[in-house]
Amino acid sequence: MQPDFTAGIFRMCKENGIHTTADTSGFGSAEALEKIMEFTDLFYFDIKHTNPEIHKNRTGQDNSIILKNLRRITACGIPAVIRIPLIPGITGTDENLTETAKTVKEIAPNSAISLLPYHEYGSNKYRMIGNTYKMKDVPALSDEYKKHSREIFESYGLICTVS
């Protein structure tokens, strides 16, 4: 959202030997991404869903820009940690996890995967601002569910951890 500011801060960090990490949804212009790539040591890059229709339905945006930007990053050799929220029935389906593993294997095969299990830590924020928390009925994730999800990525030769 603020590529000029981020590029400036990252440039100063690099000049002073400070490691830089950009945390991004990947949704942004190629021009904005290019401005910060030169000064970025690592990207934390979110992939929520690989199916364009489901992604658009859940986030309001198509995922094609996100996947193109991941290709740009990896083509330049910048390491990335692909972060995937594990939400039962939405992003945490076997179908989505398998398709995501295939996509990462194709686009960014050397990237680490970090699965981010769903939690309700932010639910109080919704109440504080008078909004309804729409995901209150999402069940907690079992250790077996997390392990199974991790194993899907590992079956494609990818390094995967569960946060």
pLDDT of 29 > 90? The answer is yes
Would you give the DSSP letter of residue 109?
T
pLDDT of 136 > 80? The answer is no
Q: Which residue has the higher pLDDT, 149 or 121?
A: 149
Q: Which residue has the higher pLDDT, 82 or 134?
A: 82
pLDDT of 116 > 90? The answer is yes
Convert 32-49 to b/e letters by CB count within 10 Å (16 or more is b). bbebbbebbeebebbbbb
Nearest C-alpha neighbor of 146 from the set 82, 87, 58, 83: 87
CA atoms 83, 88, 89, 95: torsion sign: positive
Q: Output the six-digit token pair for 116.
A: 């981010």
Burial bucket for residue 8 (CB in 10 Å: 0-12, 13-18, 19+): middle
The predicted pLDDT at position 34 comes to: 94
CA–CA dist 58, 15 (Å, integer): 40
pLDDT of 27 > 90? The answer is yes
The predicted pLDDT at position 124 comes to: 81
Cα distances (angstroms) measured from residue 144 to each of 12, 105, 140, 161: 44, 24, 12, 14
pLDDT of 118 > 90? The answer is no
For 59-80, the pLDDT digits (tens) are 888 889 999 999 999 999 999 9
pTM of the model: 0.86
Domains, the chain, with CATH or none: 3-162 (3.20.20.70)
Helix or strand (DSSP H, E) at 15: helix 3-15
